[in-house]
Amino acid sequence: MSFFDALSQAGKDQDAQAAPEAVCSRKGCRAPAAWQVLWNNPKIHTPERRKIWLACPEHRDWLEDYLRQRSFWKETVPFDPAPEPTADPDTPGAPA
């Protein structure tokens, strides 16, 4: 069995930004995502490329472990389904 077969069985593959329905990438899990697990396969991805799996709190460790075992795991960051725009004052260069 190739790595890709194993990967497709382990999780729903997602490219770049999170899909509209932000649910856990673990196969069969429909829980809302709370984490983004960022990974990279150096054999097929350029070093700066990041693949993203969404993870619910329950499966975060499972997905991280899966990628860590293959040395693909990069980092895990909190997933915010509706990011607030950062408060940016209209006045540029306000005096300190």
66 φ, ψ to 5°?
-55, -45
Residues touching Zn ion: how many (CB under 5 A)? 6
CB of 59 to Zn ion, least distance (A): 3
- The verdict on 56 binding Zn ion (CB under 5 A) reads yes
Instruction: Specify whether the CB–CB gap between 37 and 79 falls below 8 A.
Output: no
x/- letters, 57..86, toward Zn ion (CB under 5 A): --x---------------------------
- The verdict on 37 binding Zn ion (CB under 5 A) reads no
Instruction: Specify whether the CB–CB gap between 23 and 54 falls below 8 A.
Output: yes
Cα distances from 38 to residues 21, 41, 50, in angstroms, run 18, 11, 6
Question: What is the spatial distance between Cα 16 and Cα 51, in angstroms, rounded to a whole number?
Answer: 6
> Which residue in 22, 24, 52, 67 binds Zn ion (CB under 5 A)?
24
Contact region with Zn ion (CB under 5 A), list: 4-12, 13-21, 28-36, 81-89: 28-36
Q: In the complex, which residues of this chain contact Zn ion (CB under 5 A)?
A: 24, 26, 29, 31, 56, 59
